[in-house]
Amino acid sequence: MTQTESLDEIRAEVARVARMLSAARLVEAFGHVSARIGLGFAITSVSPMLRATADDVILVDAHAGPVDGSTNMAPLETPMHAAVYAARPDVGGICRGHPCYTVDWGVGNEDLPLMHGLGGLAGHPVRVHDDIELITTPAQGARVAQTLGHDSSVILRANGALSVGGNPIEAATRLFFLEERARVAARTSAMPKTDAFNWEGRLEHSVPELVRAMAWFAARFGDGPET
């Protein structure tokens, strides 16, 4: 949250990104979006993300305890968001979803290979967190944060994935390209692998590509500022 952003604006943006994730088919009945606010964060409730509004966004403290909103409406995995924010001061937004190809990859425990340039927008590497349980406790959340490390995305084994960014729209864009990366990996599984390539030079372009990709994602799946 910047000095120029109000709490209402942050809640509206979290809800707007939630609707984008639904429009992009990165979530179905389950998933959530959050944004850091001071020592806590704002997170979507368990209400359907397809029609999320600012009123569906709950404020929680750094320990995932609700500050404003019903305890019963907070996602079970709120402690996972809290743990990632605690471990990563650079993260300002988190998107959690269940993109279909990413879910498919997550039945195993191998890192998701990088096989095309834009797949690097999801981060490199992308590891699988080898725990099939819902991440509902601070200890479990801390382990997810450890698997994520300094990366931008992590796959939760048998349970979707999450991506992080400086703000929610950046996290959402990374989640979109995580799904594209998983789709390319699945469709080219019989082809020669490129994960042994030296991607360092190619990934130098990821920063400007991400800016362009974020603008495209917002234009493609957004519905404009919430009114």
Q: How do residues 122-142 score in pLDDT, each as one tens digit?
A: 998 999 999 999 999 999 999
DSSP letter string over 59-120?
EE-TTS-EEES-GGGS-TTHHHHHHHHHH-TT--EEEEE--HHHHHHTTS-SPBP--SGGGG
Using H for helix, E for strand and C for coil, what is the string for 141-153?
HHHHHHHHCCCCE
Six-digit token string for 33: 């979006």
Regions of the chain with pLDDT less than 70: 1-4, 69-71, 190-196, 224-227
Residue 168 is part of which domain span?
7-221
pTM metric for this prediction: 0.91
CA atoms within 13 A on the CB side of 187: 9
| Model pLDDT, residue 225 | 43
Note whether residue 1 is domain-resident.
Answer: no
| Model pLDDT, residue 188 | 84
Q: What is the CATH number of the domain that holds 12?
A: 3.40.225.10
| Model pLDDT, residue 69 | 64
Q: Determine the Cα–Cα distance for residues 155 and 126; give it in Å rounded to an integer.
A: 7
Contact 141, 135 (CB under 8 A): yes
- 187 residue type, one letter: R
Considering its fold, how many domains does the chain have in total? Answer: 1
Note whether residue 227 is domain-resident.
Answer: no
| Model pLDDT, residue 220 | 96
160: left (phi over 0), alpha (psi -120 to 50) or beta: left
